[in-house]
Structure 1
Amino acid sequence: MELDPRTVTSEPASPTSSAGEEKMEITSELSSPTSHSRDSGFFGSIRRLSTWKSKQSPNKESGKEDTGTWKGKGLLRSFRSYEKNKTTICDGVEKIGENKEAEPIQGKPLSVMEINELIQKRQLLEAFASIKLLEDETISERNAEKYKDNPQELLRKSKDVNFLYNSIANAIQSIVEETLEASTVEETMLTSIVTLIAHEEAAHPNTDKAVHPGSDLLGRPRKWREMWREAINESAKKRVLKAPMASKEEDSSWLDLHLNFLQKLLREDLLKIKLSVKKCYPEEYQVCDTYVEAFHKAIASHLQHLCQRLLDFNELYTLLNWVANTYHSELFLGHPDLKPEVKTENLSLLLTPADWDKLKNNYIASAKEKIKSYFGNILRLEVTEKWEKEVHSEVEENLYHALLSFDIQTIIGEHMKLSGAISRSLETKMLELCMTELLEFIPRFEKEFEKAWSTAQDSPIFAPYVVAYINSFHDLMSGLETEFEVDTEELQKILAALTRNFTNIFLTKLKTKTQELLREVHRYVVKEYITQVIKHRWRMNRETRQEVSKKMDLEARIFHNTLIDQGSDSDWLVPAIHHIAKIIKEKKKDKIKVYVKKLCQNYPDIRKDHILAILARRGLGRTRRAAILRQVCHVLESSSGGEGNTLFAEIDVPVVICCF
């Protein structure tokens, strides 16, 4: 690319020279940074920048050197010095020798605006050459104390130089950051940056120059190589943040998807660096290592921000697993296509030990609720799908069996496997957590079982369930000892208590069932005894009534005591036969009426025909029976009519036939 020819008036060669002005035409072009010609490099750029046409002063003798600002010998000496100290590297990128300082070239630099235009067009080598001229000119004028009486002018020119150097630095930064954004790599631009950095380092080798007030940056190193590294760091940060990340509301697997996008994007970037970017730089730049380190720092910072979020159990595991198992694997930095240029051996930890431990602790804390919910689901399914539906227990090898042990061991095993893939310490913590939750779950299971079955009606599946759960918990303890090498001392105590409690529930249930049977037997005996008493038709005299009454009391006492001793608690049946026996033997009608009232009060389900039958068995006539019945009728009407225990309601009354 060529600049339009310009005419620049040079300064007088000396105060005594003629006033004639020299005209020179400047034709500049941006040379290829890969050129190996004599015109490459910093001073080559200056040589290409200007082609001078100068006129000899009429006052000068033939053969004398032009004493103008651009001195031929100085220019040639500069080129010779540059040629001696340069080495060709990396596809034509030139390195300026570090041991010899290039001689300054004198000349008229472009204006600040013109230099800035070159920078905007990214003709950076030409721009740098002219900035260096401006800097050298300012330094020379400062050393000559030209601005002794006008320090503001020196400050202005120094700021111009600093502004232009910073503009080039910004351009370098933009080019570096755009390298990974663009679809193709501009190799020419990257190699020109290397040349530019080399020229700057050669032009400013001395860091110990005295600092002058108002111009302390003149002639000092610009540290563009460090700035280049910072640009790579910024580029890496932007690339990391470019990975798509959905919200949790949009996709529950947002973190897993984001990390997959991230590793795919950066893996492609690293492959691009290996194949297209690396060859644009000399070996000393260690481009691949620099980019890998930059990506590593950017990812570490990004993960720090992710860790600050409120992550659930699955998200915490996704992050832990990605750091521990994916980051260095063939899925990302260890991908075969990236080898051998991408090395990870010397990378620092992606997360600090403190952050890593915090992430693991958060995972364990979240797992606590997860494990508790899993065990809770086991209990809920037992209640709703088995107990409430009265599903029969499984039978395995002629033994009642429950899947409880298998389900619990599966939960523990799966979580230990996942945690062990991250770290051994996390696996140990997970096992400890599972055991803690198991020791809490078993008493909770026991309580729910007791609640469900202690008050339930008799069921044929109750006893099989008791046996099945005792067998299952025994299998669980054995499995934990053999498969997970767990100390089951505390578990054994809890299971021993559970076994005792289940056994007691079973025996209580059995006792309750036996007691119910005894109650029914007791009621049946009394009912049948009374039925036999009131259905007989023979007449009895006074002595016979006394004997019958006495016998009834004795027999009633015998079978009452026998059944109560066996476990019957039906004490309410005891008075019935004794009341009837007293009615049969009693002579006085008023006392008979009292016994009848007591009978009605103790057994509300008794009916009028029962009373008439008992009075008939006493031998009373119809008139007297009717009279007594009328007198106790209000007692019958005030009774509950059969609520609660029943006895007489199931006794059939015989037809009473009286002969007068």
Structure 2
Amino acid sequence: MAKSSTSVKNIFLRFSSIRKSKKKTFEINDTKIPLMPCTVSQITDYIQTDKLKEAYLNLLSMRLELQKELKAPPTNQVNKEADVNNLFVTLRNKMSVIVRNSSALPSCNKELLVYVAHIILEEEKRQGEPGAVPGWREAWRDAVRDGVRDALKKVHLDRREQNASWLAVHLGLLGKAVVEDLERVKTELLSSYPADFNVFETYVSCHHEAVGEHLKRLLVEVTELKDYHALLDFIIHRYPSDPRDKQRILIVEEDLLNNIKTSYSHCQMDDFKSALENIIITEKEVWTMKKSPDRTDDGFLTSKTYMSICQLIASYADNLEEIDENLRKSVVHFCLEELNSFHTRFEEEFLQHTRSLLTSDLLDCCLWVEYHISYINCFNSLKENMPFYRENFSAQVEQLEKDVDGLIQRLSQTLIKHFETDIKPYMDGMMTKKWLKTNGDFKEVTCRIENYRGLCKSMRAPSAQVFVNDVHYYVAREYVSQLMKKKYSCKKTKSEDAAVKLREQWNELKKLFEDMGSSLNWLYPLGDYLSDIIGMENERKIKDLLIPLVSNYPDISKKQLSAVLYFRDNGFSLEKHNVINQFTVLKRDAGNTNHDRSFFTDILS
């Protein structure tokens, strides 16, 4: 394709410097024109047998007779004038056939073209004379155009059902035919005409017109994106406009080019919508068949969804990069905007088709979690590819990133809610008499955290960090909130046992979340502070433990501290009263100092 395109362009450039041939003619003067013209029948025979010189000289003789008779009294002038006109029209038609065939046939009688050119020039000189017929040069150009049309109609064209590349193949042959036609104009036809016929320019113009008409007919048959692209590639790469010399360059009319671009754009829109719909259909099959998600080489769960989308948009952009920049931008703009509605539809379908996995066995529940993680990773990867388009589509990219962030957040929150629902029954068993004697509920909690620890290793940053922190925060908050519910109060030495158990379990949770990569380090000291308060044998010394607690967790309330003291021992004592008073002083001295994080505020008490 590229080679043919170069040939077309080069032939234009070579022909721009062609030296015009010397004028060839046959002499016409009064001594050469017969005194008595042949009969109408004989002149007609001359025309039909390509004897242009004889026919034309006799026609000139008939015209001279007619002109003499017009000066004399009227006789049969009307009939003779009709005969002259009809014969000249017949001659002109015959010359058109010769010119037309010279374009369409591999070889022709070049001497006839010499006669054709001279007759046209002679008749142009005689315009306005009695018996003169107009339109000779126009008829010649029409014949050139018709001959070019005939030649292009012979270019082979497969039916679409025969060959998927029917149009690309045809356009390649069409380009080759144009090159060969113009080469033949140079080598065989140019020398037969005088310079003022502008033969090469006329043939270029007629090829342009014929190709444009041909492309319009082809456009009606085009329905696929690849074929619209083939048309644009053919037009833009084979017929580049050159404002410096428009006469020597084939230029497809702007309306046709815009029509093809519009059709391409509409087809691309439909193609992209269809591709997005196919992605959802493909993913539905994954959910229905309960197929495990793919994994990357480094172990992250993933889906090919984002790759399909990114590759599709990139392919659209690449295909148009050397075709038309404005069309390229229009296509990418549409794709980026269409992704917003796709995400909404994808989320709806995903939630609808995977909900049943949660009501099945443990393996299905794990698969449900894996699906969520794979799509969190998938859409993070999609978002990472968007900055490439930010320069030209900042508004669309900004909106898309916002929508993707929202989708990722909702997927993550769905996982968090599932985790919360899963461990809440076991959390509710904490800080009770049973809890003090057994570890069953706590083991169930840590078992589920362990499961999520493995799954979190399959989640990519930055979502993995956010997710781990959310899980850590929820577990810490739920664990501590059990102290606030006053479900149990220790007696005598039981408070020391409870303090030891709380510290051990808190440290176990700490190790789990450290291993998971939680960045909420500020939560870790809290377990020690609470254990110290609960296990402190001397109530007077509890006041000293309040300073670091209030300093690091200033949102703890009087009611919440009272609940911790109740868990330690629900009996009233003066020292407990003094502890509360000391806490009140510390909170007052701290005032309304802003703190960059909260914890106890989120605990319902």
**TM-score bucket (shorter structure):** 0.5 to 0.7
Counterpart pick for 2:368 among 462, 468, 485 = 462
- 2 CA distance for matches of 1:326 and 1:502? 51
Instruction: Report SS of the residue matched to 1:421.
Output: coil
TM-score of the superposition, structure 2-length normalised?
A: 0.60
Aligned: 1:490 with 2:404:
no
Q: Which has the higher helix share?
A: 2
Please say if residues 375 and 441 of structure 1, whose CA atoms lie closer than 8 Å, have aligned partners that are also in contact.
yes
- 1 CA distance for matches of 2:231 and 2:148? 20
- Bigger RCO (CA 8 Å, 6+ sep): 2
State the partner residue of 1:182: 105
Distance change (3 Å), C-alpha of 1:393 and 1:167: closer
- CA deviation after TM superposition for structure 1 residue 124, in Å: 0.9
- 2 CA distance for matches of 1:179 and 1:463? 76
State the partner residue of 1:241: 153
Read off the aligned partner of 1:405 and give its amino acid letter. Answer: Y
State the partner residue of 1:301: 213
Please say if residues 313 and 366 of structure 1, whose CA atoms lie closer than 8 Å, have aligned partners that are also in contact.
yes
Counterpart pick for 2:313 among 386, 404, 412 = 412
- CA deviation after TM superposition for structure 1 residue 494, in Å: 1.7
State the partner residue of 1:114: 42
Instruction: Report SS of the residue matched to 1:185.
Output: coil
Instruction: Report SS of the residue matched to 1:122.
Output: coil
Instruction: Report SS of the residue matched to 1:499.
Output: helix
Please say if residues 134 and 161 of structure 1, whose CA atoms lie closer than 8 Å, have aligned partners that are also in contact.
yes
Aligned: 1:170 with 2:93:
yes
Counterpart pick for 1:509 among 418, 441, 455 = 418
- 1 CA distance for matches of 2:158 and 2:306? 40
Counterpart pick for 1:428 among 304, 317, 329 = 329
Distance change (3 Å), C-alpha of 1:257 and 1:384: same
- CA deviation after TM superposition for structure 1 residue 511, in Å: 4.4
Show structure 2 runs of 5+ residues with no match. 1-19, 429-433, 435-480, 483-605
State the partner residue of 1:6: none
Distance change (3 Å), C-alpha of 1:360 and 1:90: closer
- 2 CA distance for matches of 1:226 and 1:415? 45
Distance change (3 Å), C-alpha of 1:379 and 1:484: farther
Read off the aligned partner of 1:93 and give its amino acid letter. Answer: K
- 1 CA distance for matches of 2:272 and 2:169? 25
Read off the aligned partner of 1:304 and give its amino acid letter. Answer: K
Distance change (3 Å), C-alpha of 1:102 and 1:440: farther
Counterpart pick for 1:475 among 348, 365, 381 = 381
- CA deviation after TM superposition for structure 1 residue 232, in Å: 0.6
Distance change (3 Å), C-alpha of 1:369 and 1:222: closer
- 2 CA distance for matches of 1:512 and 1:400? 24
Distance change (3 Å), C-alpha of 1:428 and 1:174: same
Structure with bigger gyration radius: 1
Counterpart pick for 2:257 among 356, 375, 389 = 356
State the partner residue of 2:575: none
Counterpart pick for 1:325 among 205, 222, 237 = 237
State the partner residue of 2:24: 93
Instruction: Report SS of the residue matched to 2:339.
Output: helix
- 2 CA distance for matches of 1:400 and 1:107? 101
- Deviations 1:309-358 (CA, angstroms, capped at 9, x unpaired): 563333322222221223349xxx9xxxxxxxxx8655574123x44333
Distance change (3 Å), C-alpha of 1:170 and 1:497: same
- 1 CA distance for matches of 2:182 and 2:33? 42
Instruction: Report SS of the residue matched to 1:267.
Output: helix
Identity of aligned residues (%): 23
State the partner residue of 1:33: none
Aligned: 1:452 with 2:353:
yes
- Deviations 1:52-105 (CA, angstroms, capped at 9, x unpaired): xxxxxxxxxxxxxxxxxxxxxxxxxxxxxxxxxxxxx946713879xxx96896
- 2 CA distance for matches of 1:446 and 1:106? 94
Distance change (3 Å), C-alpha of 1:236 and 1:493: same
- 2 CA distance for matches of 1:123 and 1:102? 20
- 1 CA distance for matches of 2:158 and 2:423? 66
- 2 CA distance for matches of 1:105 and 1:407? 80
State the partner residue of 2:137: 225
- CA deviation after TM superposition for structure 1 residue 134, in Å: 1.3
State the partner residue of 2:175: 263
Aligned: 1:126 with 2:54:
yes
Distance change (3 Å), C-alpha of 1:413 and 1:283: same
Please say if residues 106 and 137 of structure 1, whose CA atoms lie closer than 8 Å, have aligned partners that are also in contact.
no
Instruction: Report SS of the residue matched to 2:263.
Output: helix
Q: How does 1:1-150 map to 2 (within 5 A)?
A: 90=21, 93-94=24-25, 107-145=35-73, 147=74, 150=75
Distance change (3 Å), C-alpha of 1:393 and 1:256: closer
Please say if residues 119 and 127 of structure 1, whose CA atoms lie closer than 8 Å, have aligned partners that are also in contact.
yes
Instruction: Report SS of the residue matched to 2:25.
Output: strand
Read off the aligned partner of 1:314 and give its amino acid letter. Answer: K
Q: How does 1:538-557 map to 2 (within 5 A)?
A: none
- 2 CA distance for matches of 1:302 and 1:257? 15
- 2 CA distance for matches of 1:431 and 1:193? 55
Q: How does 1:182-201 map to 2 (within 5 A)?
A: 182-201=105-124
Please say if residues 239 and 249 of structure 2, whose CA atoms lie closer than 8 Å, have aligned partners that are also in contact.
no
Distance change (3 Å), C-alpha of 1:349 and 1:392: closer
- Deviations 1:583-625 (CA, angstroms, capped at 9, x unpaired): xxxxxxxxxxxxxxxxxxxxxxxxxxxxxxxxxxxxxxxxxxx
- 2 CA distance for matches of 1:400 and 1:470? 9
- 1 CA distance for matches of 2:171 and 2:259? 20
Q: Which moved more, 1:354-363 or 1:272-281?
A: 354-363
Read off the aligned partner of 2:25 and give its amino acid letter. Answer: E
Distance change (3 Å), C-alpha of 1:310 and 1:144: same
TM-score of the superposition, structure 1-length normalised?
A: 0.55
State the partner residue of 1:618: none
- 2 CA distance for matches of 1:491 and 1:262? 44
Please say if residues 158 and 170 of structure 2, whose CA atoms lie closer than 8 Å, have aligned partners that are also in contact.
yes
Please say if residues 470 and 499 of structure 1, whose CA atoms lie closer than 8 Å, have aligned partners that are also in contact.
yes
Please say if residues 94 and 198 of structure 1, whose CA atoms lie closer than 8 Å, have aligned partners that are also in contact.
no
- 1 CA distance for matches of 2:35 and 2:58? 9
- 2 CA distance for matches of 1:473 and 1:222? 73
Please say if residues 416 and 430 of structure 1, whose CA atoms lie closer than 8 Å, have aligned partners that are also in contact.
yes
Please say if residues 393 and 464 of structure 1, whose CA atoms lie closer than 8 Å, have aligned partners that are also in contact.
no
State the partner residue of 1:499: 408
